[in-house]
Structure 1
Amino acid sequence: MKKKMLSFVSLGLVFITFFLSCMTKNPDEEEQLNTALEVPEKIISNAAAATLFQNDHTTRLSQIGAEKTSFEDKAIHFELDAITKYITHLEKLATTKNIPITGVSFIFGADSTGKRTAFIMPSTRNASLDYQESFTVENGQFLTFKHIDCSLKLKNNSQNDENIVLSPNGYLSFNDATRLFNQYQTQYIEPFQAKVTKEYYTKAVWYSLAEIKGYINYLKKKSNEHNLSITGIDVFFGVYNNDSSLELKSNAQTVFLTASSRQQSIINFKNKSLQSFIQNDFFLKETNNDNTDESLAFNMGHLSPPPPKK
């Protein structure tokens, strides 16, 4: 019912915008209306982003003895042009190979040194399991990447020949992604699991293609409007509050995205960095103000794996 109501509200806003744009000759009013409709639904406040970041440190890293992880090691940087080209590539792939690509998943990984990372894979809906299943294509074969499993097996022959799995350092093969995925399970899931019992442990966050494209366009638009020189997207691990009203997301791992300008994670139009926002306790002053008007942070993706069905 709520989704239907939101759809009707959205449709109403479109008609209102059209009506007012026909009636008014004030370009400022038109711009305000257009801007209001172009803000992605999943933009979150600066304070919410800072809280997710802090929760990750206190409830995850500190729990497994990794509390000395530096701020720089928490940012996973993707070039904006690389993600833009990647999304375009996936849309072409969907057409040429007739694959119903529904979105992308940011899948959790860890490198050989134990540092957390994330890589992006396309997804298609698995109707039987009712979740968004990641995949790649190698040697002409469609390969599922079941991040609902604890660990994955390496293939006898794996090569990156279709540019489908995007990491901060370039494209990965199925086996490259598997190693990162399995390392995350060993380094981060299992130590936390030994201390905190949960129904499931998040290892991927999914967004639809429309959501990611909308966010990219939003950053590019705001970069031009406010002279921010946004060159990338930074991915941060976060944890939701331990709030029962959040239901399945309560105390769950997630990722949130922020704009990146000259290798600095910025979270609003004023070019304020996430690091300074936290260190100067700005977010404590804004906790009660859920204002997203100037925010560049993005969250509220679908968590995966899903909880076991009862």
Structure 2
Amino acid sequence: MKKKMIAFVSLGLVCIPLFLSCETNQQAEEERLNAALERPEKIISTAKAATLFKNDHTTRLATIGKAKTAFKDKVIHFELDVFTNYIQHLETIAVSKDIPITGISFIFGADATGKRTTFIMPSTRNAQLDYQESFTIENDQFLTFTHIDTFLETTKTTHDNQKLILSTDGYLSFNEAVNLFNNYQTQYIEPIVSKVPKDFYTKAVWYSLDEIKGYIKYLKNKSNEYNLAITGIDVFFGVYDTNPDLELKSNAQTVFLAASTQQQTIINSKGTRLDNFLNNDFFHKDGSSDTDEDESLTYNMGHLSPPPRND
């Protein structure tokens, strides 16, 4: 009986590590599946991101005499913590002011020297126009930012800014944003009109709050999983191909988002830097595949504005 008991205990000791091993493997598999399920729908491959970047240079910058724009002047950098806190701030405003904030718009601008930038504003749906309308609040006054207009006018309401417009240099007032917006029209829209005929010219790209929150979560998960130390989100201007299947997005300006670590743009979980990827003869290689899409850290396919529609 004693021998049987010893044998039973020994068998138990063997089973325990096996059980723990199975449990560990199962947990690892669940984590892998969860990570796969949490991959945002609008993640694009590194090849597509590079193509957007290239198209912007060849069809926009080079066309209007800005071909010598340096890589560093094409990066619009936001710290990840600042970006995350901004989204949380918007959700707080939505509750306290009872405003149904639907998402954010990356609105195109240019500074006094002509350098392109983008700033971020919250949006709410304009049911009448079926349009995601950007807005801010100053002196408790709700101010719309209608980026389907050619130019916007400044306002006298410039104090008590509730910090709803985020730029790379901090928060903007309504008037500061208007000046950037109008500069973009003068510096980048008007010079291209006669050379790239289109029914509309993009001035903003919209994402829902859930999409942006999902992207932030995705970057943080990848940062932990691959020890990438992602600290920011970089925004780049891009241009879609002249593919008729893209319909309104064909040959249209857009922005794509990429991860940033220590002020270096990285585009996949291997930590590949965008500038290195572009310099390694990428544009001379044929048959670039999208097989790296699952490990990509770049994000695109937002809604363009104008036209005034939520497609």
TM over 0.5, yes or no?
yes
Q: Is residue 160–residue 172 contact of structure 1 (8 Å, CA) maintained in 2?
A: no
Indicate the residue corresponding to 1:295 in structure 2.
296
For residues 82 and 25 of structure 1, what CA distance do their matches in structure 2 show?
Answer: 37
Uncovered stretches (5+) of structure 2, i.e. residues with no partner: 1-22
Uncovered stretches (5+) of structure 1, i.e. residues with no partner: 1-22
Residue 29 of structure 1 deviates from its aligned partner by 2.1
Indicate the residue corresponding to 1:88 in structure 2.
88
Q: Could you give the per-residue CA deviations for residues 126-160 of structure 1, whole angstroms, max 9, x where no partner exists?
A: 11111100000001100000000000001123135
Indicate the residue corresponding to 1:176 in structure 2.
176
For residues 159 and 69 of structure 1, what CA distance do their matches in structure 2 show?
Answer: 35
For residues 226 and 25 of structure 1, what CA distance do their matches in structure 2 show?
Answer: 19
Q: Could you give the per-residue CA deviations for residues 200-219 of structure 1, whole angstroms, max 9, x where no partner exists?
A: 00000000000000001111
Residue 109 of structure 1 deviates from its aligned partner by 0.2
Indicate the residue corresponding to 1:73 in structure 2.
73
Residue 269 of structure 1 deviates from its aligned partner by 0.9
For residues 157 and 124 of structure 1, what CA distance do their matches in structure 2 show?
Answer: 21
Q: Could you give the per-residue CA deviations for residues 177-225 of structure 1, whole angstroms, max 9, x where no partner exists?
A: 0000000000000000122221000000000000000001111111111
Indicate the residue corresponding to 1:305 in structure 2.
306
Q: Percent identity?
A: 67
Indicate the residue corresponding to 2:166 in structure 1.
166
For residues 78 and 288 of structure 1, what CA distance do their matches in structure 2 show?
Answer: 29
For residues 282 and 207 of structure 2, what CA distance do their matches in structure 1 show?
Answer: 29
Indicate the residue corresponding to 2:56 in structure 1.
56
Question: Structure 1 residues 289 and 152 mapped into 2: Cα distance closer, same or farther (>3 Å)?
Answer: same
For residues 222 and 94 of structure 1, what CA distance do their matches in structure 2 show?
Answer: 29
For residues 207 and 98 of structure 1, what CA distance do their matches in structure 2 show?
Answer: 20
Residue 294 of structure 1 deviates from its aligned partner by 1.1
* Higher Cα radius of gyration: 2
Indicate the residue corresponding to 2:4 in structure 1.
none
For residues 104 and 129 of structure 1, what CA distance do their matches in structure 2 show?
Answer: 17
Q: Is residue 131–residue 308 contact of structure 2 (8 Å, CA) maintained in 1?
A: no
Residue 287 of structure 1 deviates from its aligned partner by 2.2
TM-score, with structure 1 as normaliser: 0.89
For residues 174 and 136 of structure 1, what CA distance do their matches in structure 2 show?
Answer: 7
Residue 32 of structure 1 deviates from its aligned partner by 2.1
Residue 289 of structure 1 deviates from its aligned partner by 3.0
Q: Is residue 78–residue 168 contact of structure 1 (8 Å, CA) maintained in 2?
A: yes
Question: Structure 1 residues 286 and 160 mapped into 2: Cα distance closer, same or farther (>3 Å)?
Answer: farther
Indicate the residue corresponding to 2:12 in structure 1.
none
For residues 227 and 286 of structure 2, what CA distance do their matches in structure 1 show?
Answer: 27
TM-score, with structure 2 as normaliser: 0.89
Residue 255 of structure 1 deviates from its aligned partner by 0.0
SS of the residue 1:29 aligns to: helix
For residues 228 and 290 of structure 2, what CA distance do their matches in structure 1 show?
Answer: 24
For residues 33 and 197 of structure 2, what CA distance do their matches in structure 1 show?
Answer: 47
> Are 2:32 and 1:32 aligned?
yes
Residue 26 of structure 1 deviates from its aligned partner by 1.8
After the TM superposition, which of the residue ranges 237-246 and 283-292 deviates more from structure 2?
Answer: 283-292
Residue 286 of structure 1 deviates from its aligned partner by 6.1
The 4+ residue runs of structure 1 with deviation greater than 6 A are none
Indicate the residue corresponding to 1:117 in structure 2.
117
Q: Is residue 160–residue 173 contact of structure 1 (8 Å, CA) maintained in 2?
A: no
Q: Could you give the per-residue CA deviations for residues 237-277 of structure 1, whole angstroms, max 9, x where no partner exists?
A: 00000000111100000000000111110001111101111
The code of the aligned residue for 2:31 comes to E
> Are 2:152 and 1:147 aligned?
no
The code of the aligned residue for 2:145 comes to F
SS of the residue 2:246 aligns to: helix
Question: Superposition RMSD on alpha carbons, in Å?
Answer: 1.6
